[in-house]
């Protein structure tokens, strides 16, 4: 009987060691990520590509092959889009600071109390003064509205010659706009509000208010930021039934751009080029302010997330962070060579265009030794998840510990 037990124990031990040393099963994906046919060419596998070959980084070129030509807003003329007219450039209708519903203004006439006072642009977009017909204000400048008020005062017989009037902003109201297309979180959203604990009382009391909080770039950031497949050459803004195209193509290269001021009811749409653009994976005024990644660390050298300091702060990464940078952050790299050299990591991501998930495996030491590692190191996207797996030596050690405990129990058992 003891001999039979030892034989069974030996078989169990052999099978356990074999399972610990065997490679994990490859992940199955709907999209052909292994061949570079997923959202990023960096997802493809490096099996069959000699690591000693001349390191030519091909991923950006592979990504660009699927790109549609940019619909540049500067290419000239108007184009049809959804049955509406798209006007190239930034026309006067979108230029400058524009009034919107809820904005607070101060109107003054010298030595006159009937019309002098503070007014709010009404929900229908008009400025309404006593004894005067409503003046259109939504989407217009204060200068244009003031000129119309002066004309209404003359037409109403209150003045014979144009009076010297003043119309100044006291406060910009928050506005609701919609953002759709190639952004990470397309949704209706409110922009332009000021947190209550950040109100500057002197600015609130001053006339001639100004704001950057209602700009196009703010709306794009609040919608999760642009995706890497966005076509920034023709961002569309629909206002009052007309659609305009704005070129933001130089924004990621440090060039000046037209940061249009939005008004209530504007609809922003970011078209897609249908491809991953590596140059857009960099911090910019319209990219995500940062990305949150879900992490699961290894058991060696850390025994848990608390010991690894994996918490809310560590899960936040700058936009443009790559997979292996986050792997290092999870304590999945380094440690004792005898037990930690053969780790691998898995990336769980999702194609934001097709909404199809993908899983990518990377042997850590292979990535460390290859000269062309950047070609196979994907960029992280918001909401990605990373899991690190221990080396086979560590797995064997854990198996032996379990078998040791089992043997001790068997010996002590009657």
Residues β-bridged to residue 189: 177
Q: 215-232 pLDDT, tens per residue?
A: 999 999 999 999 999 999
Query: CA 355 to CA 349: how far, in whole Å?
Result: 10
pLDDT score for 366: 87
The pairing of strands 112-120 and 104-109 is: antiparallel
pLDDT reading at 326 higher than 80: yes
What length is written for the chain? Answer: 414
pLDDT of 152 > 50? The answer is yes
Segment 192-216 shows an average pLDDT of 67
Query: Would you say residue 282 has pLDDT above 80?
Result: yes
Q: Work out the pLDDT band at 80, boundaries 50, 70, 90.
A: very low
**Average pLDDT estimate for 51-72:** 83
Whether residue 147 contacts residue 174, with contact meaning beta carbons closer than 8 Å, is answered with no
Q: How confident is the model at residue 15 (pLDDT cuts 50, 70, 90)?
A: very low
Question: Side-chain half-sphere of 230: how many Cα atoms within 13 Å?
Answer: 33
356 pLDDT above the threshold of 90: yes
More confident residue, 220 or 393: 220
The 3-state secondary structure of 232-293, one letter per residue: HHHEEEEECCEEEEECCCCHHHCCCCCCCECCCCCEEEECECCCCCHHHCCCCCCCCCCEEC
Higher local confidence (pLDDT), 3 or 145? 145
Q: Walk me through the domains of the chain, giving residue ranges and CATH numbers.
A: 2-65+289-397 (no CATH), 79-92+174-274 (3.10.560.10), 104-171 (3.30.1950.10)
User: Which distant-in-sequence residues (6+ apart) come within 8 Å of 128 by Cβ?
Assistant: 119, 122, 134, 135
Write down the pLDDT at residue 402. Answer: 47
Q: Per-residue pLDDT averaged across 136-158, rounded? A: 95
């Amino acid at each position: 009987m003891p001999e039979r037990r030892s034989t069974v124990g030996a078989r169990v031990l052999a099978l356990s060691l074999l399972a610990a040393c065997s490679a994990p099963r490859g992940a199955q994906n709907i999209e052909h990520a292994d061949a570079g046919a997923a959202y990023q060419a960096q997802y493809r596998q490096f099996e069959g590509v000699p690591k000693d070959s001349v390191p030519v980084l091909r991923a950006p070129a592979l990504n660009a092959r699927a790109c549609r030509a940019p619909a540049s807003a500067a290419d000239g003329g108007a184009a049809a889009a959804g049955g509406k007219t798209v006007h190239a450039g930034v026309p006067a209708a979108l230029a400058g600071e524009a009034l919107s519903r809820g904005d607070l203004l101060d109107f003054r006439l010298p030595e006159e109390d009937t019309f002098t006072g503070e007014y709010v642009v009404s929900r229908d977009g008009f400025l309404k003064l006593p004894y005067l017909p409503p003046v259109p204000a939504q989407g217009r400048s204060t200068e244009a509205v003031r000129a119309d008020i002066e004309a209404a005062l003359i037409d109403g017989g209150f003045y014979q010659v144009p009076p010297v009037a003043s119309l100044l902003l006291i406060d910009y109201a928050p506005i609701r706009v919609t953002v759709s297309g190639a952004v990470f979180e397309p949704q209706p959203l409110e922009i332009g509000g000021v947190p209550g604990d950040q109100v500057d009382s002197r600015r609130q009391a001053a006339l001639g208010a100004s704001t950057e909080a209602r700009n196009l770039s703010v709306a794009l950031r609040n919608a999760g930021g642009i995706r890497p497949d966005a076509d920034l050459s023709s961002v569309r803004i629909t206002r009052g039934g007309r659609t305009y195209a704005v070129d933001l193509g130089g924004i990621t290269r440090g060039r000046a751009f037209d940061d249009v001021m939005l008004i209530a009811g504007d609809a922003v749409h970011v078209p897609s080029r249908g491809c991953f653009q590596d140059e857009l994976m960099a911090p910019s005024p319209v990219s995500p302010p940062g990305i949150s990644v879900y992490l699961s660390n290894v058991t060696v050298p850390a025994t848990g997330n608390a010991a690894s300091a994996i918490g809310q702060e560590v899960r936040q990464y700058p936009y443009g962070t790559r997979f292996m940078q986050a792997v290092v952050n999870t304590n999945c790299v380094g440690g004792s060579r005898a037990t930690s050299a053969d780790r691998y990591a898995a990336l769980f991501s999702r194609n934001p265009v097709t909404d199809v998930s993908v899983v990518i495996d990377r042997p850590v030491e292979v990535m460390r030794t290859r000269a062309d590692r950047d070609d196979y190191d994907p960029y992280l996207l918001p909401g990605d998840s990373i899991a690190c797996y221990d080396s086979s030596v560590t797995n064997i050690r854990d198996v032996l510990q379990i078998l040791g405990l089992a043997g001790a129990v068997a010996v002590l058992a009657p």
